């Protein structure tokens, strides 16, 4: 089923344990840039949620033109709404890491529908895949943004997700990294420093917040 048909019917067929299993989807638009108005499809599953439009708009108002010709990495990408918005705003290339098969299938459809040429979707455990992708980007030495949006820790099996994410972020220490942004539960206070990274900005959006980190000199 193509993305347009899935959107029209508001369902998405997924060949998982049950061949008859179908997942409801909803759509959000790209907010601004060259792909403004194009639809991003999002599956209604527990591990995937959409970053609020007001949150995405605030994010890209903050990084503004700094994103131009930079790489953008969306960890725990889900449907890819943030990385695709980055491409619309002028990022050079977006990388998406996603483990859930349902979300990944729809992520690939979104990429194909919006900007396949400048996107790379990688399926698997983000914690295991991060080091190899980071090494590739370091060798390329193009400025890069990293966006972490781990599943909320209140979900079953995700209790340690923030600790694992923070340990991973603390490994980021090379100068090609322009910024690390973390979307997280507002109830969780992130540390002022993570390795070489220092907190630059924090903004609250109801139950979700954004924390921005930059490398210390």
pLDDT by residue (tens digit) across 51-96?
Answer: 578 999 999 999 999 999 999 999 999 999 999 999 999 999 999 9
Structural domains of the chain, with CATH: 45-215 (3.40.50.150)
- The phi and psi torsions of 150 (rounded to 5 degrees) equal -65, 150
The secondary structure element, H or E, covering residue 185 is strand 177-185
* Separation between Cα atoms, residue 149 and residue 40, nearest integer Å: 17
Beta bridge partners of 193: 198
Phi, psi of 163 (to 5 degrees): -60, -45
**pLDDT at 155 (0 to 100):** 46
Is residue 50 a contact partner of residue 82, using CB atoms and an 8 Å limit? no
Reported as a single tens digit per residue, the pLDDT across 161-174 is 889 999 999 999 99
Report how far residue 198's alpha carbon sits from residue 195's, in angstroms, rounded to the nearest whole number: 8
CA distance 210 to 184: 6
pLDDT confidence of residue 134: 98
- Per-residue pLDDT band for 159 (boundaries 50, 70, 90) equals low
User: How many CB atoms lie under 10 A from the CB of residue 73?
Assistant: 26
Beta strands, E only, 126-176: 144-148
Q: Give Rg (Cα) of the chain.
A: 17
* Sign of the dihedral through C-alpha 105, 110, 115, 118: negative
pLDDT tens digits, 87-106? 999 999 999 999 999 899 99
113-154, pLDDT tens digit by residue?
Answer: 999 999 999 999 999 999 999 999 999 999 999 999 988 644
Instruction: Provide the pLDDT confidence category of residue 34 given band limits of 50, 70 and 90.
Output: very high
Strand order of the β-sheet with 22-29 is 11-13, 22-29, 39-43
Q: Is 26 helix (H, G, I), strand (E, B) or coil?
A: strand
Confidence of residue 24 (pLDDT cuts 50, 70, 90): confident
The residue ranking higher by pLDDT, 3 or 210, is 210
Q: Is the pLDDT of residue 47 over 50?
A: no
Name which of 91, 187, 137, 172 is nearest 83 in CA terms. Answer: 91
Residue 31 has pLDDT above 60, yes or no: yes
């Amino acid at each position: 089923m193509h993305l347009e048909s899935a959107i029209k019917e508001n369902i998405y067929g997924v060949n998982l344990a049950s061949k008859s299993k179908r997942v409801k989807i909803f759509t959000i638009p790209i907010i601004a840039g060259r792909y403004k108005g194009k639809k991003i499809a999002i599956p209604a599953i527990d591990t995937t949620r959409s970053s609020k439009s007001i949150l995405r708009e605030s994010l890209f108002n903050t990084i503004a033109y700094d994103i131009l010709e930079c790489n953008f990495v969306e960890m725990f990408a889900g449907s890819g709404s943030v990385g695709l918005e980055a491409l619309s705003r002028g990022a050079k290339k977006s990388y998406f890491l996603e483990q859930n098969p349902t979300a990944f299938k729809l992520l690939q459809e979104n990429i194909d529908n919006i900007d396949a040429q400048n996107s790379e979707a990688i399926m698997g455990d983000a914690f295991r895949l991060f080091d190899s992708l980071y090494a590739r980007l370091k060798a390329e030495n193009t400025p890069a943004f990293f966006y972490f949006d781990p599943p909320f820790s209140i979900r079953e099996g995700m209790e340690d997700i923030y600790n694992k994410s923070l340990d991973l972020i603390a490994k980021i220490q090379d100068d090609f990294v322009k910024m690390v942004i973390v979307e997280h539960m507002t109830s969780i206070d992130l540390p002022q420093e993570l390795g070489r990274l220092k907190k630059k900005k924090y903004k609250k959006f109801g139950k979700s917040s954004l924390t921005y980190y930059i490398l210390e000199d």
